[in-house]
Structure 1
Amino acid sequence: MVQNPREEMNNKTMNRYQWFVIGICVLLNVIDGFDVLVMAFTASSVSAEWGLTGSQLGALLSAGLFGMGAGSLFLAPWADKIGRRPLILLCLMISGISMIAAAFVQSATQLGIMRFITGLGIGGILASSNVIASEYASSRWRSLAVSLQSTGYAIGATIGGMIAIALISNFGWRSVFLAGGLTTLVMFFVAIFTLPESLDYLLVKQPKNALSRINQLCQRIGLQQIKQLPHVTINANQPKMGIAKLFTAGLGLQTLLLWFSFFFVMFGFYFVMSWTPKILSANGMTTEQGVTAGVLISAGGMFGAALIGLISARVRIFYVQAAFLALTAMLILLFVNSTGALTIAFVLSIFLGVLSNGCVAGLYAMSPSIYEAGVRATGVGSAIGFGRIGGILSPLVAGAFLDSGISSLTLYGYYAGAFVLAIITVLSLSKLQKKYAVELNFQNSTVQS
């Protein structure tokens, strides 16, 4: 029987090189966190320079999200064909160049186009770096590895906001895009020299020089080197790549449940992140106090992703995710009733950030376990892309509800319901995934024997 390095890595203690690769994935997400929110940082300055209406500014804010959704859906699947590393390098180049170009645009339309292109690159990076973090971790620490990778987004957003304030006050809003683009290109060169290809991809797809590349990685990871490539069974009736492959071999219902889990969580998460400062201000807080609450939610997010990962090292990630979702729904209702007590509201803001961001990190940790290596980037990317639809719709639906006269308390209750619906999809997915894993292991053991 041919030795399988993947199985050996699943059961061994993780070494420094594995954590180093996960650290590179965290840095990729830090860059993405800054690039995603750069439009929010510069919105007021951009609007003032060109005299934009609220709808025009809203379109600019949405352009990047649309691009991210498209990148996750249409670029990320190529990581299963050409490799995780080449796609990340390509997407870093796309994001970096378009960010620099955004610093020299002369109209809102041009800026919107550049934001969409930047979003395309970010969508591809998010899905692929998430998969690499998962594939370089052992079974026990996989959820923590992916959750740590997710903290990069909150770190990038927090640090980026502070940098943006300094740059705008001294050099104007264009300098923020220029700094973000140059930093992304620096990360491109860092990734060229430090980011390896996925071991899972090399084992399954077996590109040119796969054996020597696998053995080089085995040496770094501390695995036994192999003398020949493992046999890969290819079903000629299955699609070669693309989303259609996610609905074959019993994966269809799991894929749909994962998509709707992302949709519900992103729908609730983006409401909390987008509307909280404004709603708190409208309910008795000052504008500064509302913004402070929003910042505290983001700050709490840096801890939420790590927390869910640590707990998942001991408890099945699906159950931890369901618990975080339930606590988030309850905390949302407590939070909206705390506006009369400023200290309590700020404390609850931190905990809301911990839990809501933990829910997002939990989704990223869950999703790689659903799919085999050959379709993993496609599966993760499509789920993220479907979730972005919820993120895009969320602020629009909230605005429509508020315009119709619904109270903020009622509105928060509706959005808490999105997290409750996510509990149902996550627990259903857990049951299906466990059953599918048992069947797959039985088939593999039959083939090997």
Structure 2
Amino acid sequence: MEKNLRTIEVQSFIDGERFSPYQWVILILCFLVVAADGFDTAAIGFIAPSLIGDWGITRAALGPVMSAALVGLGIGALVAGPAADRIGRKAVLALSVFFFGVWSLASAQASSVEALTAWRFLTGLGLGAAMPNAVTLMSEYAPARIRAMAVNAMFCGFSVGLSIGGLCAAWLIPHFGWQSVLVAGGVGPVVLTVLLLVLLPESAQFMVVSKRPAEKIVRVLRRISNDTRLAEGASLNFTAADTRASGADKSSLGLIVSRPYRFGTSMLWLAYFMGLMIFYLLTNWLPTLFKDAGFSAERAALTTSLFPLGGILGNLCLGWVMDKANPRRVNACAYVLAAALVLTIGRGVADQFWLAVLIFLTGTAVTSAVTSMSALAASFYPTRSRATGVAWMLGIGRMGAVAGAMTGGLLMSMGLQFGAVFTLLAVPAFVAAFALGALSRRDSAPLADSANQTV
């Protein structure tokens, strides 16, 4: 029997096969998880005016409600990553989506700002725990030749969910009240949980690293390929290419900050922090900036709406280029392009048409650069700590989102003009580009034989 034992390296096996219908199912399910985030982001913004009217509260009183989910997102990501590297991606993802839905349903029953804030925080915890596991699962089932493209395509779900959330809120609120939007945002994830449990597989690489039975791994790989090596009764031994580099003596969190990964981890965190800082500052404050610059309310809203429109196109294009070239340098170039665009806007653009074009291009560059960071993180870490690495980058990045919103308010209070604010945004863009450029100059991956060095 030993002579007939065949060894299959799982990632190489997946890389050598076409993108199968089963992998499309995985992509669609992960796409729906991200779409739930987009739906929730749009919904809470649309119900705010109704809350002010129904509860007789000020806009300032809604501040904690609007930010509670964002804080929960960060904490949920930090906790869920190590859990997924210990018990599995599928279990944590399904539980996260389920509780996200349940807590969204509970939010619809809130009768005070305090109660809604608490439920929104718990909703954010569930969603924050789900996102990094969707990224990790998708990256581990995508062939290397299209991995960045697949992960970025998955993140297009956010824009789709954003649009659906806005459309649903616009119809539901007049007919059924603001609570109906939160109910819709809760029912969807609960139904999605059932689909995840039935259709979504555990990561094949995780099953190898965690020494799951070979029969379970074979069952999954047969859905990807009918390779004769997977025939019934074959004696198989599965391996993961990065098993030896996974630092068996360290926890998943300890591994991502250990010597071989420490520099890369810090650069990924820095780049993502800066990227989200730019994204959320512009998302939250663009309408105000345009109104202060003399735009009418309608023109300000229309021009602002161009910022996220380029996200889908940018995600797919940048993902395609990342799969063809050095992905870190490609993403660094996207940040440089973003810096050049905000500097151009900051110098003053008299024609409103060209200003609109530049806002669209800025949104394309910033959104795709930030989105593609998840693919970079997933490719940087070994299987044993991949979910933790992705999750902690996402969690640290949420601090950048909060910093962006707060910085925008500070700049407004200082009385800085439209051009000055855009010019200053070039600083975090260049910092992010520098971080990824520094990382790309290092070895393309941490050395396997150094992974067990002391911290």
After superposition, residues 155-174 of structure 1 pair within 5 angstroms as 155-174=160-179
Give a deviation string over 1:246-302, Cα, whole Å, max 9, x none. Answer: 112511111111111111111111111111111112211111222222222222212
Query: CA separation in 2, counterparts of 1:205 and 1:171?
Result: 48
Cα contact 1:338–1:344 (8 A) shared by 2? no
Which residue identity does 1:331 align to in structure 2?
L
Name the CA distance, whole Å, in 2 between partners of 1:329 and 1:336: 10
Could you say which residue in structure 1 is the equivalent of 2:224? 221
The one-letter amino acid of 1:301's match is: G
Report whether the alignment pairs 1:299 with 2:309. yes
- CA drift of 1:52 comes to 2.8
Amino acid at match of 1:41: F
**1:332 correspondence with 2:335:** no
Q: CA shift at 1:2, angstroms? A: 2.8
* Mean Cα deviation higher: 361-370 or 385-394: 361-370
Structure 2 residue 202 is the aligned partner of structure 1 residue 197: yes
**TM-aligned CA distance change 1:19 to 1:338, over 3 Å:** farther
| One-letter amino acid of the structure 1 residue matched with residue 271 of structure 2 | S
Alpha-carbon distance in structure 1 between the residues aligned to 2:210 and 2:418: 51
- 2:3 aligns with none
Alignment partner, residue 68 of structure 2? 63
2: CA distance, partners of 1:105 / 1:339: 46
Q: 2:30, 2:109 → 1: CA distance?
A: 29
Q: Specify the alignment match of 1:240 in structure 2.
A: 251
Change (3 A) 1:49 1:340: farther
CA separation of 1:218/1:443 partners in 2, compared to 1, >3 Å: closer, same or farther? farther
Aligned twin of 1:365: 375
How far is 1:393 from its partner? 1.3
Q: Partner amino acid for 1:353?
A: G
Q: Which residue of 2 aligns with 1:398?
A: 408
After superposition, where does 1:85-124 map in structure 2 within 5 Å?
85-124=90-129
1:133 aligns to 2:135 (yes or no): no
The 1:111/1:394 distance shift into structure 2, 3 A limit, reads same
Alignment partner, residue 157 of structure 2: 152
CA contact (8 A) 1:264 1:422 kept: yes
Displacement after TM superposition at 1:427 (Å): 1.1
Residue by residue, what CA displacement relative to the aligned partner does 1:74-105 show, whole Å, maximum 9, x if unpaired? 12321111111101110011110111111110
CA deviations on 1:141-200 (whole Å, 9 max, x unpaired) are 011011111111111112211211111122221111011111111111121221111111
| Residues 291-343 of structure 1 deviation map (CA, whole Å, 9 limit, x = unaligned) | 22222222221221111112222122112111111111121233456664332
Contact 1:300 1:351 in 2 (8 A): yes
2:123 aligned partner, one-letter code:
T
Whole-angstrom CA distance in 2 between matches of 1:244 and 1:5: 25
| 2:346–2:420 Cα contact (<8 Å) kept | no
Measure, in 1, the Cα distance between the counterparts of 2:14 and 2:32: 23
- The aligned residue for residue 31 of structure 1 is 36
Per the TM alignment, residue 20 of structure 1 is displaced from its structure 2 partner at its CA by 2.5
Q: Percent identity?
A: 27
Per the alignment, do residues 102 and 159 of structure 1 end up closer, same or farther by CA in structure 2, a change over 3 Å counting?
Answer: same
Partner in structure 2 of residue 48 of structure 1: 53
Task: Tell me if the contact between 2:10 and 2:238 (Cα under 8 Å) persists in the aligned partners.
Answer: no
Q: Structure 2: which 5+ runs fail to align? A: 1-5
What is the distance in 2 between the residues matched to 1:61 and 1:257? 29
Cα pair distance change 1:433/1:161, threshold 3 Å: farther
Q: Deviations over 1:84-142 (max 9, x none)?
A: 11011100111101111111101011111111111111111110000111001111101
Contact 1:28 1:129 in 2 (8 A): yes
What corresponds to 1:425 in structure 2?
435
Counterpart position of 1:447: none
